[in-house]
Structure 1
Amino acid sequence: MSNKNFFKKILYFLGIEDEIPQETEKDDFEPYNIARPEPKPIGRVINIHQTNRNKVVIYKPDSFEEVREITDEVKNRKSVIVNLEKLDKENAKRILDFMAGSIYALDGTVRKIGPGIFLFAPENVDVAGLEPEEENQDKSPLNIKIRG
C-alpha cells in the first residue's frame, strides 16, 4: 500500500475526505517454497554396492602378539578365519579368549569351523550354514565348546 492511499484513508477516517477511491493492490512478492528438512531414516541403511566388498581374512598366528591385528580386522568389518592348530594349547586358548571377548564387545559372531579353526564375523555379517556338530566339538584340541 502506498503512502498516498494511507494518507487518504486517514483523511476519510477523520471525516475530511468523502470517498476512498478503490484501487486494486498488486502483490509485489513472488511465491517461494518453504524448505523442509528431509526426514531421516530410522533404521540402518546399507549401501547395496558396499555389500560386494565384504572380505574374509585368514590368519594363522604364531604368537599372542598377533591378536590385536586380528581384532582390528573385525573392527574394520571384515570376517576373519583363525587357524590355531599349530599353536601350543595355552597360547591358542589365550587368543581364543581374547578374540571371544572382543567379538562380544563388537556384537559379532564366533563359529567353530573345525578343530582349532574359528570364524570371527562382525555384526554386519550374517553367518548361516555353520552349525557345529556335537561329535566335532568333543574332539577339539582346545577342549572348548562354542555354541552356534
Structure 2
Amino acid sequence: MSIKTKLKTFFFLDEEYDENEDEEYVEEVQPVRQQKPPAKPQNVVSLQSVQKSSKVVLVEPRTYSEATEIADHLKNRRAVVVNLQRIDNEQGRQIVDFLSGAVYTISGEIQKVGDKIFLCTPDNVEVSGNITEALMNGKEFQDTRW
C-alpha cells in the first residue's frame, strides 16, 4: 500500500464500499429511572386521621356493664360524654371509677361538665376552658359586673 491510499483510508476518502454500512444501527435505549430522594421522617398528619379523631360519642349507660363499651370508644381515640343521670348513685360511682382508670391508662382526661355528666377524652383531644363551680352545683350564676 502506498502512502496515498493509507491517507485516504485514514481520512475515509477511500471509496471502498463496506457492505455493513447499509445496515441500520439500532441502539437500545433503556428507560432512565428517577431515583427517589432518601426517605425523610415526615411531620405531616393526614387529614383523614384528624377527621376520625374528632368524633365525640354521647353515652347514657343504664348498667355498670356498659362501662367497657365506653372504654372501647376511648381506646379508639374518641371523646365520650357520659350522662349518669338515669343510673343510681352507686353504679354511677363505679362507672366513674372504672372510666378514671381507663382514661389514666391511655393518658387522657376525665372532667365533670355538669351534674352527673362527665367528659372523657383520649390524649389526642385537648379540652380548654372551665365550667364554673356555681353552674355545676345548680346555683344561679350572678355576675355583679352587669
Normalising by the residue count of structure 1, what TM-score does the alignment of the two structures yield? 0.62
Deviation at 1:132, TM superposition (A): 2.7
Q: Say whether 1:92 aligns with 2:92.
A: yes
Identity of aligned residues (%): 34
Task: Quote the residue 2:131 is aligned against.
Answer: 132
SS in 2 for 1:51: helix
- Which amino acid in 2 is paired with 1:102? A
In 2, distance between residues paired with 1:52 and 1:35? 30
Deviation at 1:40, TM superposition (A): 2.1
Deviation at 1:86, TM superposition (A): 1.4
Report the RMSD for the aligned CA atoms in angstroms.
2.3
- Which amino acid in 2 is paired with 1:134? E
Task: Quote the residue 2:25 is aligned against.
Answer: none
- Which amino acid in 2 is paired with 1:71? A
Task: Quote the residue 2:40 is aligned against.
Answer: 39
In 2, distance between residues paired with 1:35 and 1:52? 30
Deviation at 1:36, TM superposition (A): 6.1
Task: Quote the residue 2:30 is aligned against.
Answer: none
Residues 35 and 55 (structure 1), Cα distance of their counterparts in 2 relative to 1, 3 Å cut? closer
SS in 2 for 1:65: helix
Normalising by the residue count of structure 2, what TM-score does the alignment of the two structures yield? 0.62
Measured against aligned partners, the alpha-carbon deviations of 1:66-117 in whole angstroms (never above 9, x if no partner) come to 0001000011011111000111111000000110111011011212111000
Q: Say whether 1:48 aligns with 2:42.
A: no
Task: Quote the residue 1:120 is aligned against.
Answer: 120
Which structure 1 segments of 5+ residues have no match? 1-31, 141-148
SS in 2 for 1:57: strand
Aligned length in residues? 105
Deviation at 1:34, TM superposition (A): 7.8
Measured against aligned partners, the alpha-carbon deviations of 1:24-74 in whole angstroms (never above 9, x if no partner) come to xxxxxxxx9887641224x6x432243233211111101110000100001
SS in 1 for 2:113: strand
8 Å contact from structure 1 (residues 115, 136) kept in 2: no
